[in-house]
Amino acid sequence: MSSVFVTQAVVDAGPVSMGEQVAFYVLGTGSLIGALGMLFARNAVHSALWLVLTMLNLGVLYMVGQAPFLGFVQIIVYTGAIMMLFLFVLMMVGRESSDSVVEVLRGQRLAAGVIGLGFAGLLVAALVRSLTQVKPIGLAQPNAQGGGNVANVGKLIFTDYLFAFELTSALLITAAIGAMVLAFNEKRRRPAYAKSLQQELVEARFQGNRPSPLPGPGVFATANSVATPALLPDGSVAPESLSEVIESTARERLDPDLLPEPDAHALTAPEQREGES
Amino acid sequence: MKTADLLADDPIWLIIIKVVGIFVYLVVFTLFMIWLERRVVGRMQHRPGPNRVGPFGLLQSLADGLKLAFKEDIRPVLADKWVFFLAPVVSAVPALLAFSVIPLGGEVTMFGERTALQLADLPVGLLVVLACSSLGVYGIVLAGWASGSPYPLLGALRSAAQVISYEIAMGLSIVAVVMYSGSMSTSDIVLAQKDNWFFYLLPLSFLIYLVSMVGETNRAPFDLAEAESELVGGFHTEYSSLKFALFFLAEYINMVTVSGLATTMFFGGWYAPWRFLPFGLGEVWAGADTGWWPLLWFTLKTLGFLFLFIWLRGTLPRFRYDQFMKLGWKVLVPVSLVWILGVTAVRVMQREELSTTFKLVAVLIGVTVIVLISFLIPDRPERDTTIVRTAGSDYPLPPPDLRVPAAPKRRLAAAATAKLPSATKEDGDV
Amino acid sequence: MISFLAQPGGLDALQAPEIDYWAMAPLLIVLGAACVGVLVEAFLAKPQRWPVQVILTVLTFAFAGLTLGLRLTKDPKGLTTVAGALSIDRPALFLWGTLLALGFGAMLMIADRSVEPGGSFVASAAIRPGTIQDRAQAGQHGMQTEVFPLALFALAGMMTFVAANDLLTMFIALEVMSLPLYLMCGLARRRRLISQEAALKYFLLGAFASAFFLYGLALLYGYAQSVKLADIAEATGGTDRSDTLLYAGFGLLLVGLLFKASVGPFHTWTPDVYQGAPTPVTAFMGACTKVAAFGAILRVLQVAFKASSWEWEYVLWAVAIVSMAIGAILGITQTDVKRMIAYSSIAHAGFLLLGSIALNHDGLSSTLFYLLTYGFTTLAAFGVVSLVRNADGEATHLSQWAGLAKRSPLVAAVFSFLLLALAGIPLTSGFIGKFVVFRAALAEGMGPLVVVALIASAVAAFFYLRVIVLMYFSEPAADGPAVSVPGAFTTAAITLGVVVTLLLGVLPGFALDWAGAAGFVF
């Protein structure tokens, strides 16, 4: 569908053709709906999806504006990579996480709304006024010269904007280091499997203290949290059943002073026990 | 005449015919591919595969497809209604869209109209395919998220990370091709391979593309997003009926697309399969590259790549996730970058009028650097096989040099079968 | 096959732009050293990194300074290079020199490991604050040595920012200087949560400001059909274009720039970030970012928008007044030393804006001089702040500074001197700086603004003097903080700041000459 638009746009010689106008109104409306949807969606993933819609529309808008390279790069980079990472993070955080709607500063939402709308109104009014004075030029002529759109973009990057382009690498390196600094934990023990062969793993396990897997947590015995420790037959806690990763593991349960005396009733639910006594 | 100009004056009815034609081509390819996969994998596993419905079981996938459509459509209670519905559509549409820029053949005459066997020829054709594949992932990721259950979510997370990683490698493998053909338009890339195919001019790019195309399409051995032994069905665990069929369709169409792109970029597209041969052998049949013949050549080459997919699935075990990521980021991406640098250097040396001494010195420096770097790579510590390993605990340890004893003669079996005269001859072989 | 390889690919060969590597050498050296620093992080073992990074940093500044010095002796006027993207003229060289000197001081503080055992940066930032692992790492003496390349990247960004001759380069430079700063703000060893909060606030607001800058850039491109400052200047001369695009674009562009300079109503991030960030990073931000941002503001105003100045002049008047008022009045209410200096920096930004609006040669040279003096004073002030500590780290609450002179007369004296310099008392560099800026503003007919500035200075002087009174005439608290004996690095940084502050207060002539050597080249 998009390709038809593009072909159309390239063929039309005039600055703004009828087809282009129709495309603009369709895509513009689409991107506006996407932007508003992003603002008002309660669910974070829905918000992200609305934003994807906006970006797609913008991408196609660029193609209609005779910049096919920019349009497709917009789709690949923004929708394909950046929004995908957004979604990745949102899904990691969990599907129940939606925005807190509590106002921390009273009246802030109202003020932000009024000022935001005012700013948008001002900008739109200014742009509308200025656009009547601006003559559209279009990219048809530069696209016809040299090696076409892609080659011309490349040429500009490596001549006029060479320094800006090279400087971007500093930005990318910084971003990469930043990610490493904030996320990479050297102190964490490397998992044994990361480097070893299957045979070495087997041998290591048999030479260690425990060839069998660690006991699972006490899920479903008294609670359905993995932080619940498994209980040994005498009712005491099996420390190996607790995950090292979950730090919030009920520490008080392991505290010897607070531990229940071993008794057979430990496995039943607390309220039941109280009822009996 | 350039393909873009040929396509520019296509009347609207011709475009519709082409759209329908491509759709049919892809769906038929999908049905055929499912059948082929089951037959070939069956043959690899010494079993016949589907052979009852139609000649050679050819209609099996059609029957399965019909059955799938009539199955009950289930939506889990916890699912996100709209996104759950949207996901299969998002997955299938870009898959179909991507094929519009693949050149299936050269100039032909359809109903008196001169045109090319290609729906659209953009100056950024390759990017269209990349963009579509990056959009297709949304289907998978959203499906996993919207299902509202843990296994699909894990599949979706894997898929998101996987596609982002392998798209980089794929994009980098394309760079060298673009550099050699001087264009991003798919038809120009095919035309640039009139005499020389890129798979031997750019072997490393080809290999990297080959690996990343399997990674991009979530196929074995990289099918971690739907690894049935770990995640039940991965992202499509909760899907059924037509929605599931759409995912299935999208996966197979994606395979056809990436195979078609591999053909276009590295195997001379629609040129006759012997076109790259030297000593004039490529021109033995001048008519092979005209008319409708190219469609056949393209289809055959694409089928070759599709067979590769099946072969891989029948042969290789699934990767572990960390190995998979390691391959993508630590092998494919750096190797591509170095390779692009090398290709660029070669291109520059061809272009500029440089003296032979300069070229030789440059090559020498390059080789020296590579050798020096190779010294920096640490050797893998060799395993000492002479040490006898013992258990560190009280648990019994099987002997480390365990050798499976030879199977004893099956006396009892032999005695039992001795009564049957026909079996006695084979007795000695057991 | 051979015939194909020789095929040129159908495109014309590119004409590469001319690059004057020697003129760019200081910038390239800093950028290159940052990249080498990254490689050091990648390939060296943890214990070796700190010494190697320190040596690398010192060498970087030595070589960059050397090439800069050679440049100063050679070229009288300046030039543009890399297809006009960079303008290496006298103001740019002056700002480069200032940035390198201030950056060196800040890097010394960053490298210091004696005041806080192990340095003021966290050993491993990936560990969540408050967890068991975090308590375990508090005793460790390592630090994230990635800070060194990050700081060098930030410095390179700043150097590009002040020399950028087109808006696109300026925008990317803005990001190159901001991104490492966002990161470094969140790496404090003590009080990690407040540090991370500061980093997040800075990042979000900074990204917002960048968006404003970019939007303004887009509108200005629509106006002038070019992002080059010279072309915009040329376009403002003509009359047949849409003025709405110009003013909307200019306004948005300016918001982004003023945010980075923490001027006036765009200052809201400043107190929180100054307070939360590790003190060496605060010193780096307070000194260098201010220099870079005002360097860019000067260039944008003087090169691109000089012709249209009568339209926007009064808007910036208002911004300057708001900035001075906010800085001076809110500064009085602060009880935290770092926040107090942050508000002082907002007031100073107002004074600097005064000089920037004065679109004449004196305005340029006086603002450049003011930046030099302000940078060194701030650097030394934060150096002193990092010395006053108790068991929880730095003791920044004002009540803890009571009676400091009785315990540590030297530190109290140095800090008093620096506060006097910030207040603009004669015999300090601050006085000369204010004097030349106000004189330039008066010459441009900005009398009312100068009156406001004088009132703001007087109000601001009150809270500086309050700290001095507190240090000298109050009884020290029983469990008050101790003053650490600084190691060589921090001592050197503070000494550098104090000496320059004094020197420029007594003998400002040479620096004023240098600042006023020549104007912008574009």
Domain residue extents for chain C? 19-515
pLDDT(B148) > 70: yes
Query: Which among B180, B182, B350 has the least Cβ separation from residue C11?
Result: B182
Tell me what pLDDT residue A219 has: 61
CA A242 to chain centroid: 31
Asked if residue B284 is part of any domain, the answer here is no
Q: Is-contact C371 C95, C-beta < 8 A?
A: yes
What is the predicted pLDDT for the residue at B386? 59
For residue range A171-216, list pLDDT tens digits in order.
999 999 999 888 887 655 555 555 666 667 777 777 777 777 777 7
How many cross-chain Cβ pairs, B to C, lie less than 8 Å apart?
18
Do the Cβ atoms of A91 and B153 come within 8 Å? yes
Tens digits of residue pLDDT in B381-422: 666 665 555 555 555 556 556 677 777 776 655 555 555 554
* Mean pLDDT, chain C, whole residue set: 87
Which residues, in sequence order, are CB contacts of C399 under 8 Å at separation 6+? C335, C477
In a domain? residue B380: no
Contact present, C160 and A171 (Cβ < 8 Å): no
Range A132-153 average pLDDT: 77
The confidence band for A7, taking pLDDT boundaries of 50, 70 and 90, is very low
The answer to whether residue A128 sits within a structural domain is yes
pLDDT digits (tens, 9 = 90+) for A68-112: 888 898 888 888 888 888 888 887 776 555 556 676 778 888 898
User: Are A69 and A7 in the same domain?
Assistant: yes
The CATH code of the domain that includes A58 is 1.20.120.1200
- Does B214 fall in a domain? yes
Phi, psi of C474, deg, nearest 5: -110, 155
Q: Residue C82: its chain A contacts at CB < 8 A?
A: 162-163
pLDDT tens for B111-139 read 777 787 888 888 888 888 888 888 888 88
**C300 contacts C312 by C-beta, under 8 angstroms:** no
In a domain, B332, yes or no: yes
Tell me how many domains chain B contains: 1
A76:B153 CB<8 A: no
The structure's pTM equals 0.84
Report the residue of chain C nearest A156, measured CA to CA. C14
Chain C residues whose CB is inside 8 A of the B2 CB are: none
Give the per-residue pLDDT at C99: 94
Check residue B329 and give its pLDDT.
87
Which structural domain range is residue B328 located in?
Answer: 3-277+289-370
Q: What's the whole-number mean pLDDT along residues C265-283?
A: 91
pLDDT at residue C179 in the model? 94
Query: How would you classify the pairing of strands C78-81 and C86-89?
Result: antiparallel
Confidence check: pLDDT of C20 > 60: yes
Q: To the nearest whole percent, how much of chain B has pLDDT over 90?
A: 4
pLDDT (mean) for C280-286: 92
Domain contains A165:
no
Structure confidence by residue, pLDDT tens digits, C483-512: 877 888 889 999 999 999 999 888 888 888
Q: Which helix (H) or strand (E) holds A21?
A: helix A18-40
Q: Which of A58, A62, A130 would you mutate first to test chain C, the one with the most C CBs within 10 A?
A: A130
Whether the pLDDT of residue A8 is over 70: the answer is: no
Cβ distance of A76 and B389 shorter than 8 Å = no
Looking at per-residue pLDDT, the higher value among C266 and B109 belongs to: C266
Whether C464 and C344 have beta carbons less than 8 Å apart is answered as yes
CA distance C30 to B272: 55
Give the chain B residue whose CA is nearest to the CA of C8: B351
pLDDT recorded at residue B284: 72
On whether ipTM exceeds 0.85, the answer is yes
Are the Cβ atoms of B160 and A84 closer than 8 angstroms? Answer: yes
Q: Which residues of B touch A193 (CB under 8 A)?
A: 320, 322
In a domain, B408, yes or no: no
pLDDT exceeds cutoff 50 at C112 = yes
Are residues A241 and A128 located together in one domain of the fold?
no
When pLDDT is cut at 50, 70 and 90, the band that residue A273 belongs to is very low
Q: Which of B251-255, C103-107, C312-316 has the highest mean pLDDT?
A: C103-107
- Determine the pLDDT at residue A246: 61
Q: Is there a domain that residue A179 lies in?
A: no
Residue range C334-341: average pLDDT? 90
The more confidently predicted of residues A146 and B204 is B204
Q: Classify residue A215: in a domain, yes or no.
A: yes
CB A222 within 8 A of CB A249: no
Mean pLDDT, residues C100-111 = 92
| Residue B376 within a domain | no
| Count of other CB atoms within 10 angstroms of residue C62 | 12
Across B152-173, average pLDDT: 85
Say which residues have a Cβ less than 8 Å from residue A103's Cβ, sequence separation at least 6: A109
CB contact under 8 A, C176 and A171: yes
Domain-located, residue A153 = no
* Residue A277 confidence (pLDDT): 42
Q: What is the pLDDT of residue B1?
A: 54
State the total domains in chain A: 2
Across chain A, mean pLDDT equals: 75
B148 touches chain A (CB under 8 A): yes
> Which chains form contacts with chain A, at 3 or more CB pairs under 8 Å?
B, C
Residue A247: give the domain boundaries: 193-268
Asked if the model's pLDDT at residue C93 lies above 70, the reply is yes
Contacts of B392 in chain A (CB under 8 A): 206-209
Question: Within 13 A of C482's CA, how many CA atoms are on the CB side?
Answer: 8
Which residue in C1, C5, C11 is closest to B350 by CB distance? C5
The predicted structure's pLDDT at residue C42 = 86
How close does chain A come to B366, measured CA to CA in Å?
A: 23
Query: Is residue C91 within 8 Å of C364, Cβ to Cβ?
Result: yes
Encoded amino acid at B196, one letter = N
- Residue A82 DSSP code: I
Per-residue buried b or exposed e for C407-427, using 16+ beta carbons within 10 Å of the residue's own CB: ebeebbebbbbbbbbbbbbee
pLDDT digits (tens, 9 = 90+) for C342-380: 999 999 999 999 889 888 888 889 999 999 999 999 999
Assess if residue B395 is contained within a domain: no
CB A216 within 8 A of CB A230: yes
Contact (CB<8Å) C172/A171: yes
Report chain C residues whose CB lies below 8 A from the CB of B195. 1, 3-4
Reported as a pLDDT band with limits 50, 70 and 90, residue C7 is very low
pLDDT in the model for residue C4: 38
* pLDDT for the residue C241: 74
